[in-house]
Chains A and B, each alone.
Chain A
């Protein structure tokens, strides 16, 4: 089955800095890679996703890059703000009826 590794487990940055979270996956058939943000006491919310026919996708301060050859994808947050502080999960899936496999999460702390 799929195995998703996520690093780092904790990331501490100053407000305004950039933050990068990296994930690797093992199943070369995976073609859908969503990222979720989970605030304390709440369920994960989808913030951005990318499919394997695209190498990069951007939405305002958030971007995701995908390297299918190396089987890794990354989340980039620029100009971080305190409200970006949360746990971020990456996931990989073959899409369709396949259940996504989640990484272990990254706790992002943005210091004002």
Chain B
């Protein structure tokens, strides 16, 4: 089946620094990738939709300058949290679609970001 690899699984960074999270589709080409944020004991909050070769579409309330998304190839999307602050600490999860969005929806293993 479809496999989505996400790295790193955990990262601790200092306030003010930037952190990059990678999401790769290993055995299929993902025309669309999605980035979610999940707070403890809560559901998945869609942050943005990343389309290969074009700008990401951000959900309302998500700062595009803080959460930079790049989808440079059909197998790789990156999320960069810029000038991180403690309130950015969260669990970030990517998912990828084979172009059929609602059907072929596979999640990565998630990244636990802690900003100190």
Give A contacts to B, CB under 8 Å.
32, 34, 36, 41-46, 89, 91, 93-100, 102-105, 107
Q: Is the CB of B43 within 8 A of A93?
A: no
**Shortest Cβ gap from B35 to chain A (Å):** 12
Interface size on B, residues (CB 8 A): 25
- B73-111 interface bits toward A, Cβ cutoff 8 Å, 1 = contact, 0 = none: 000000000000000000101010001111101111110
Q: Is the CB of A46 within 8 A of B106?
A: yes
Q: Is the CB of A89 within 8 A of B109?
A: no
User: Which A residues are CB-close (under 8 A) to B93?
Assistant: 43-44
Q: Is the CB of A93 within 8 A of B44?
A: no
User: Which B residues are CB-close (under 8 A) to A103?
Assistant: 43
Q: Is the CB of B42 within 8 A of A104?
A: yes
Cross-chain contact of B101 among A42, A89, A97 (Cβ < 8 A) = A97
Complexed CA–CA distance, A112 and B91 (Å): 29
Q: Is B6 an interface residue, CB under 8 A from the partner? A: yes
Q: Is B46 an interface residue, CB under 8 A from the partner? A: yes
Q: Which of B39-68 contact A (CB under 8 A)?
A: 41-44, 46, 49
Q: Is the CB of A100 within 8 A of B105?
A: yes
Known: A43-B110, A105-B43. 9 other contacts (CB 8 A): A42-B109, A43-B6, A43-B107, A93-B103, A96-B102, A97-B100, A97-B102, A100-B105, A104-B43
Q: Is the CB of A102 within 8 A of B105?
A: no
**Shortest Cβ gap from A31 to chain B (Å):** 8
